[in-house]
Amino acid sequence: MLDVGVVGGGTAGCAAAAFLARQGHAVTVYERVENPGPVGAGITLQPSGLAVLRALGVADEVIARGAPFKTLLCTTGTGRALLSLSYDDASAAAFGLGIHRGVIFEAVYRAAREAGARFVLGVTCEDLVRPPRGKGRLEIMGADGRPLGTHQLVVVADGARSQLRDETVIPKHVAQYPWGALWFVGKDPSGELSKVLHQVVDGNQRMIGLLPTGKGPLSVGEDGAHVSLFVSVRATEVARIRARGLAAFQDEYARLSPTAEPVLAQLPPMDQMVFTQYHDVTMYPWNTGNVVYIGDAAHAMSPQLGQGCNLALMDAMVLAEKIATYTYLPDALDAYSRTRRSHLQFYSWATRLLTPFFQGDEPWFGILRDLGMPMMMRVPWMRRMMTRSMCGTLTSVLGHELDLP
Ligand SMILES: Cc1cc2nc3c(=O)[nH]c(=O)nc-3n(C[C@H](O)[C@H](O)[C@H](O)COP(=O)(O)OP(=O)(O)OC[C@H]3O[C@@H](n4cnc5c(N)ncnc54)[C@H](O)[C@@H]3O)c2cc1C
- Report the predicted TM-score, pTM, of the whole model to 2 decimal places: 0.96
Single out the residue of 105, 53, 308 nearest to residue 220, CA to CA.
105
Q: Mean pLDDT of residues grouped by 10 in the chain (405 residues)?
A: 97 98 98 87 96 98 97 95 96 96 96 98 95 86 93 97 87 95 94 94 96 88 90 97 97 97 96 95 95 98 96 98 97 98 97 96 96 96 95 93 86
Residue 273 lies in a domain: no
pLDDT for the residue 116: 98
Strands 42-45 vs 96-100: parallel, antiparallel or unpaired: antiparallel
Residue 233 lies in a domain: no
Residue 307 lies in a domain: yes
Residue 400 lies in a domain: no
**By residue range, what is the domain housing residue 81?**
3-175+278-391
Instruction: Indicate which atom in ligand 1 lies nearest the CA of residue 105.
Output: 29
Single out the residue of 353, 317, 329, 295 nearest to residue 161, CA to CA.
295
SS3 237: helix
- The ligand 1 site (C-beta within 6 Å) comprises 7-13, 30-33, 43-44, 124-125, 157-159, 163, 181, 183, 276, 295-297, 303, 306-310, 312
pLDDT for the residue 208: 98
pLDDT for the residue 330: 95
* 44-95: pLDDT as tens digits: 999 999 999 999 999 999 999 999 999 999 999 999 999 999 999 999 999 9
pLDDT for the residue 360: 94
Residue 248 lies in a domain: no
* Angle, vertex CA 385, rays to CA 380 and CA 390, nearest 5: 125
- Number of domains into which the chain is organized: 1
pLDDT for the residue 403: 85
For residue 141, report the distance from its CA to the centre of ligand 1, in Å. 22
What single letter denotes the amino acid at residue 84?
A: S
Residue 183 lies in a domain: no
The residues that bridge with 199 in the sheet, in sequence order, are 74, 209
pLDDT for the residue 71: 97
Residue 334 lies in a domain: yes
Query: 123, 148 in Cβ contact below 8 A?
Result: yes
pLDDT for the residue 296: 98
First-to-last CA distance in the chain?
A: 25
CATH assignment at residue 341: 3.50.50.60
Residue 121 lies in a domain: yes
